Structure 1
Amino acid sequence: MALAPPGSQVAPLPSNLPFRLVSKTIGQGAYASIRKAVPINAPKPIIAIKFINKEHAFKQGRLTPKQIKMEIILHSHLKKHPNIIHCLGSGEDTLWTWIAMELAEGGDLFDKIEADEGVGEDIAHFYFSQLVSAVGYMHSMGIAHRDIKPENVLLSAEGDLKLSDFGLAALFKKDGQLRVCNTVCGSPPYIAPEIVSGRRSKRADMLDVGYAANICDIWSCGVVLFVLLVGNTPWDEPTMRSDEFKEYVDTGGQTTDELWQQIPAEILSLLRGMLKLDPAQRFTLDEIRTHPWFTRKNPYLSSSGRNVNPVGLATQMLSQLRIDFTREPTQSQRGFSQDEDAMDIDSDPHRSSAVTFLSSTQPETPIADAPFDWERPPRLASHDGISASQPTSNGQQAAYRAQTMSSTPLMSQLPCSTQDMLSQDPSMTQFSQTQQGVPMTLTQAARRFADVMPSHSLARFISPHSMDLLVPLLLEALHRLGVPAPTFTEQSIAECQRVGSASIRVKMADGRRQGLNGHILVEKVVYDGILYNEVRFVKASGDPLEWRRFFKNVVVCVGDVVLRPD
């Protein structure tokens, strides 16, 4: 029997599954978790299984069986499209509903985009084109997504976009007749204003006058394009309580906000068209598709809409991930909440008096503080010399420590074989303080996007320092950033040192006042007989760009212990 995923409160998973589970948790919500699986008698294909805990969904999540059934029906109705996660089947027992889906082997798109930087025009255009293709197909089938945001944008192994999570999808057209939706749902930075501002005289989560869900999707796509371009959202929520949104409205879209100043001029008319306040004036999909910027040529986009240069795209994206150790951590309205009640964010993840939300099966925040049960990312391509055992030579360990403890540890101080090994680790490139680009060792044998840019998050670093030094430093960094942190006694840190791992639970409100939750995990690892610690930042829920920003801020705070390329 497989271990139950986080948030399940040890409810046993179904025993008669028509597949074999082969991983721990790779994704999680309040009452849903995702694991990898394969056919009963074969190693491939690897698929993803979403397990929805019924008790949590119905009681804490206030979902109904009909709503879960509707997610499955609508997702299955979408059949196959190259930019939509394919639904393969479903089933249930008394405790769980499960949905089998295509595995997004490339991981999260926005995990791979630099916070506050975004990507270049070509890459933004490439992914926006594929998003429009996915949404256009959904709309042609009469289905609106209603929850388009970075958490729901995944990648294939070739780097192509895959739209996911249809827990809030709705049928807006049936038998040729348009239908309006009344349910208030979505994520505040991405939600359309007509949903937020609608009158609710009977129920807080139901509008008196319905909205056109497909037109709301257009608004969300516009915000996603903005985020691709600059690495941040244009506002917290589309209400007059947001200073950025108020200025956007008051100036008729001619805002002086510094983020808008970064948008290339030829894209502004497209964004303003998609972000029209009046749904009747908002750009249609056809108007988007015929806009001059949308029809521009793209070196990554084939005539069929696929990625024509997966390795080149991955290399370009990886080269844009950089951490500047000379900069101060972010402390602004786009930084982190220092609210004294931030630890209570789970009970009110959106922190918006304007919006009352219906939870989806991939919600913002986990309800239960369950034990850490996430799958570790695969080690480097060559596993020789890497283990979780004790170092082979105390003398060698002591000599290395004496060399590195007095200054920032550099890869050049390591044995040559370890340097060669770590040069194959994509996460190391983000710490380089030179503009040398992505090492050839990562690209020369690559054939797919995933060969250069891994599916797992790059929010990790390696340090030669001991756990009893790292854990207090990480806790001090959280305090400096105004992020609530658990208390570790000297005895608990000593126990972490003994067992070789420590987990720091993180719950906060991010820079857009949304729930951001996860763990900072410190684990020992041995390279070439020398003991190091790997520090991983594992997001349980929330915006991936905000998690990336949080990771960067912590790394800058503890920069002197981070192993870096020279």
Structure 2
Amino acid sequence: MIQSQLDPLPADLPFRFISKTIGRGAYASIKKAIPLTASSPVFAVKLIHKGYAIKHGRISAKQIAMEVSLHSHIGQHPNVIEWFATGEDHVWRWIAMEYAQGGDLFDKIEADVGVAEDIAQLYFYQLISGVSFMHSKGIAHRDLKPENILMSENGDLKLADFGMATMFQYKGQRKLSTTMCGSPPYVAPEVLSCGRGDRTSSEANKYSAELVDMWSCGVILFVLLVGNTPWDEPTSQSWEYQEYKKMNGRSSDSLWERIPTEALSLLRGMMNIEPKKRFSFAQIRQHPWYTRRNKFLAADGKITDPLNLATEMLENLRIDFSQKAPSAQCVSQPSQDAMEIDSAPHRISSTQPETPINDVLFDWERPMLRSLAVSSTQPLSRADATLPPSATQSNFFDALAEEPSMSQFSQTPGVPLTLTQRAQRFRDIVPPHSFTRFFSPMPPQLLVQMISDALHNLNVPLPSSPPHIGQGDHVSTLKVRTVDERKQGLHGEILVDKYFLPASQELLEVRFVKLKGDPLEWRRFFKKIVLLCKDGVYKPEA
């Protein structure tokens, strides 16, 4: 057990917690809270155990203070998570901030598919709005990637996590950066060149942080449109990047063929190899693709039709059970490649430094079926997993069929009509909880074995002893510690819990909780496991 689980929190906090842990980094956890004297607003509190962070997280006390200072300096903007307050004692630093009630944006985007052009343009518009506002304050994010892009309850984009942010301009004075930070698929090439000492002069071994953000915004737009990154990393190790570089942004990769023609010049302008030639915000805002008419986008940058937006997003999430189950891939052990993040001081650092997840205790909110009288956003303890006394088996399965996450398993493409008819808000169709979950009617022992076999098939390392099967409502926890197709860390847990049905029957819920890694890669991993376990997956209309 790590020390941060043993040390009591400060006694004089000006708020009270109303949730279990809803997020975690290596040295911090995030909980929902409200003011001591009111029931609203609900906000998020990031709790940093200072001693553990400095000792194991490879960050300094100055870096923790810098994150707080820069976040508070940014100010209010509809597309940036707002900073509220901070405090500390000798053990803990806490930061109160806006709670992104819509959850993770990229968890709701289909890997290898992306989203419709209007949806991509909407979120790109809001991304540029948030980043340009930060830059107007002289602050660059330096770690723009899907993990750090959240949503409000109305579906609006929210930039989060300023642990790698830096001030590049203050009182007219500009500063270059030397810190290696970011994620290889999204980071600009000059950051990696800087870290590897590819240049000769000391001035050349620095980079402009604001131009790095521009490159990352381009990669994020690419991912929105096609559901994949253009390369693993912008280095000589990637043939896709090398061709892009050699051909001045013209690539023969089939992914680029799926980019709308009008958007190609925008992407090439933002992802120019020469940093000083990259598009400015003014050039982006004048580009025809950026200014095209969009049915979801109002003049003020807000969403005009949240229900239809949510419906279109949900329709894209699909698991095709006619697909062939994936075969064993090369061993998914943590890569020793020189570009792997988090591995050594000279290599690229992640926003949340890594610790062994076996040593960390945490809880996660379990979403409850919304049709069973409890909101899906309220925490559900394992002891509460039984149905209300008035519930019957039939209305349980009726409720299950209307769960948004179940539509991805339906044999009939589309969103259930009853769901859209009852919906009043974006979150009624696209809830904040992750869609990487499924239900199963199989006996616990058999299902856990099936999941273990699927992990083995994908060469995910498993413990030598069989997974523990609990006798209560929590069945088992299977830890995932692997690398994704981009050779980046992918860590999480597969939690198996019971719903107790009438007539002494059970239905198992299997949740895939990501601890670290790209949400699109986590979804790709989830889909592989589902296809390997398809005989044990409950499917509507089956």
> Is 1:218–2:192 an aligned residue pair?
no
- 1:462 maps to 439
Helix, strand or coil for the counterpart of 1:382? helix
By relative contact order (CA 8 Å, sep 6+), the higher-ranking structure is 1
Inter-partner Cα distance in structure 2 for 1:236 and 1:200? 17
Query: How has the CA–CA distance of structure 1 residues 464 and 366 changed in structure 2, closer, same or farther, with 3 Å as cutoff?
Result: same
Query: How has the CA–CA distance of structure 1 residues 45 and 353 changed in structure 2, closer, same or farther, with 3 Å as cutoff?
Result: closer
Inter-partner Cα distance in structure 2 for 1:199 and 1:551? 33
Per-residue CA distance 1:181-203 (angstroms, 9 max, x = gap):
1111111111111111126669x
- 1:565 maps to 540
Matching residue within 373, 383, 387 for 2:372: 383
- 1:433 maps to 411
Per-residue CA distance 1:357-415 (angstroms, 9 max, x = gap):
3453x34x3444235523223312232699635999xxxxxxxxxxxxxxxxxxxxx95
Aligned pairs for 1:73-88 (under 5 A) are: 73-88=69-84
Aligned pairs for 1:251-400 (under 5 A) are: 251-329=247-325, 338-339=331-332, 341-342=333-334, 350=341, 356-360=347-351, 362-363=352-353, 365-383=354-372, 388-389=385-386
Inter-partner Cα distance in structure 2 for 1:371 and 1:42? 32
Inter-partner Cα distance in structure 1 for 2:449 and 2:500? 22
> Is 1:511–2:485 an aligned residue pair?
yes
Query: How has the CA–CA distance of structure 1 residues 549 and 199 changed in structure 2, closer, same or farther, with 3 Å as cutoff?
Result: closer
Inter-partner Cα distance in structure 2 for 1:198 and 1:500? 48
- 1:239 maps to 235
Which amino acid counterpart does residue 272 of structure 2 have in structure 1? K
Per-residue CA distance 1:174-226 (angstroms, 9 max, x = gap):
11122111111111111111111126669xxx986321100110000000001
Which amino acid counterpart does residue 370 of structure 2 have in structure 1? A
> Is 1:448–2:425 an aligned residue pair?
yes
Once the two structures are overlaid, the 10-residue window that deviates more, 540-549 or 420-429, is 420-429
Query: Is 1:7–1:30's contact at 8 Å kept on the other side of the alignment?
Result: no
Query: Is 2:140–2:210's contact at 8 Å kept on the other side of the alignment?
Result: yes
Aligned pairs for 1:20-39 (under 5 A) are: 20-39=16-35
Matching residue within 525, 529, 538 for 1:550: 525
TM-superposed CA distance for 1:162, in Å, is 0.3
TM-superposed CA distance for 1:557, in Å, is 0.3
Query: Is 2:148–2:161's contact at 8 Å kept on the other side of the alignment?
Result: yes
Query: How has the CA–CA distance of structure 1 residues 434 and 145 changed in structure 2, closer, same or farther, with 3 Å as cutoff?
Result: same
Helix, strand or coil for the counterpart of 2:359? coil
Matching residue within 482, 491, 497 for 2:459: 482
Inter-partner Cα distance in structure 2 for 1:53 and 1:208? 37
Matching residue within 41, 64, 68 for 1:68: 64
Query: Is 1:325–1:559's contact at 8 Å kept on the other side of the alignment?
Result: yes
**5+ residue gaps, structure 2:** 375-379
Identical aligned residues as a percent? 50
Inter-partner Cα distance in structure 2 for 1:562 and 1:256? 38
Helix, strand or coil for the counterpart of 2:289? coil
Query: How has the CA–CA distance of structure 1 residues 234 and 516 changed in structure 2, closer, same or farther, with 3 Å as cutoff?
Result: same
Which amino acid counterpart does residue 331 of structure 2 have in structure 1? Q
Aligned pairs for 1:85-104 (under 5 A) are: 85-104=81-100
Aligned-residue RMSD, C-alpha: 2.7
**5+ residue gaps, structure 1:** 393-413
Once the two structures are overlaid, the 10-residue window that deviates more, 38-47 or 127-136, is 38-47
Inter-partner Cα distance in structure 1 for 2:491 and 2:195? 32
TM-superposed CA distance for 1:35, in Å, is 0.7
Per-residue CA distance 1:147-172 (angstroms, 9 max, x = gap):
00000000000000000011111111
Inter-partner Cα distance in structure 2 for 1:366 and 1:456? 24
Query: Is 2:140–2:168's contact at 8 Å kept on the other side of the alignment?
Result: yes
